Amino acid sequence: MFKQFVKKYNLPNYRITQIYEGYYKNFISSWDELTTLPKDLREKLKEEIPFSKLIFVSNNTSKDGNTNKVLFKTEKDNYIESVLMKEKDRNTVCVSCMSGCPVGCIFCATGQMGLNELLDSQQILDQILYFCRELSLKNEKVTNIVYMGMGEPLLNLENVARSIMIIADKEKMAFSKRRVTVSTSGHVQNLRIFLGKNLGVKIAISLHAANQKLRERLMPGVASNNYLENLLDTIDSYTQKSNKRITYEYVLLRNVNDSVEDAKELANLLKGRLALVNLINYNEVDCLPFKKSKKTVLFKKILEERGITCTIRKSLGEDIKGACGQLGI
Ligand code: SAH
Ligand code: SF4
């Protein structure tokens, strides 16, 4: 869009660098602040290119001050949420790639909304830039970006990929790809396409069950057409080629997938694979019947005894419904 603008007015190439510098690197908060451009050009930018396609609605901070959930509205009047999580020297932005989600995992708040709208790459970037601007006022930076907000990234593949290319582009945000994680419920065909793009970001697979039957029950919208076996085959060929470790997310639901047997089955499934299991304590959602597991520590112990590397995700922002899977309007 900026390139088209520069071309339209027959501007010299350095103008594009000035726009990128201001917008993606110095995090200006309006076109008026782009003072490297003459006033008439700034006015044209204002008329032609929206500074943000998302409209800010509200901002909610957790009691401990470490989590900040922001509600935005799209041009089509759909709502999305984005979250900033502060932990030690990390500032992680959790972005949405859709309003709602068509996958309908039975434990997830977003999944209960159905799909309202796919976000385009600009709308995904708008969320990140919003927090970059806020933090830059305090001389801080976004350090990590996770695609773990509303929506399934692989069902909005091109827009997600485009946003990552802009994030990582040296001339634009120049953000390290190693600090970007895309979490997916595991649409196999699109996962192949995504991995084939070699974007260099980290991949997290939402597994949540160690067998096809349970996975289908928990994640019907994806697991019934994307068999666990095929998913693992796809990941195996990727790890063989790339030697990169894959994170498997496993949300522990009381008396559903948190038994000793479940842990042993999971350990068997991942044995010999380059894997890290990230256990997620369930964030309870009003209207959904699931409860937090009481066996997180035991589950972890069983996995570790069997040689599986395992971490427990720190949950942030539960009191403002900004934690994993609580995003829903
Ligand atoms: N659609 C993608 C990314 C968004 S969800 C995916 O499913 O991977 C990010 C993570 O939060 C996923 O692992 C998801 O399964 C998990 N999650 C969903 N609902 C949750 C809840 N209520 N509590 C904890 N984790 C949840
Ligand atoms: Fe969609 Fe992910 Fe929620 Fe499943 S867990 S409904 S894929 S957002």
Cα(80)–Cα(27) distance, integer angstroms: 22
How many C-beta atoms lie closer than 10 Å to residue 150's C-beta? 28
Query: Best of 99, 206, 284 to mutate for ligand 1, by most ligand atoms within 8 A of CB?
Result: 206
How confident is the model over 27-83, as pLDDT tens digits? Answer: 999 999 999 999 999 999 999 999 999 999 999 998 888 999 999 999 999 999 999
pLDDT at position 314 is: 78
- Cβ(238)–Cβ(244) below 8 Å: yes
Q: Whose atoms come closest to the Cα of 291: which ligand?
A: 1
How confident is the model over 199-247, as pLDDT tens digits? Answer: 999 999 999 999 999 999 999 999 999 999 999 999 999 999 999 999 9
CA dihedral of 19, 55, 317, 315, whole degrees rounded to 10: -60
| Residue bearing the CA closest to ligand 1, atom 13 | 206
- State the distance between the two ends of the chain, measured CA to CA, in whole angstroms: 31
Q: Whose atoms come closest to the Cα of 285: which ligand?
A: 1
What kind and span of H or E run contains 289? none
293 ligand 1 Cβ < 6 A: no
- Cβ(86)–Cβ(66) below 8 Å: yes
- Cβ(58)–Cβ(70) below 8 Å: yes
How confident is the model over 84-115, as pLDDT tens digits? Answer: 999 989 999 999 999 999 999 999 999 999 99
User: How far, in Å, from the CA of 318 to the mean position of ligand 1?
Assistant: 14
Mean pLDDT of the chain: 94
pLDDT at position 320 is: 63
pLDDT at position 126 is: 98
- Give the number of the atom of ligand 1 that is nearest the alpha carbon of residue 315: 24
How many C-beta atoms lie closer than 10 Å to residue 218's C-beta? 22
Query: What residues are in contact with ligand 2 under a 6 Å CB criterion?
Result: 101, 103-105, 108, 110-111, 151-152, 185, 206, 325
Match 């709502």 to its residue by tokens: 79
Residue whose C-alpha is closest to residue 305's, from 271, 255, 259: 271
**What pTM did the predictor assign?**
0.96
Cα(86)–Cα(92) distance, integer angstroms: 6
| Residue bearing the CA closest to ligand 1, atom 4 | 148
Report CA-CA distances (Å) from 69 to 84, 149, 156, 187, 323.
6, 11, 22, 28, 9
* 153-162: average pLDDT: 98
Cα(2)–Cα(19) distance, integer angstroms: 8
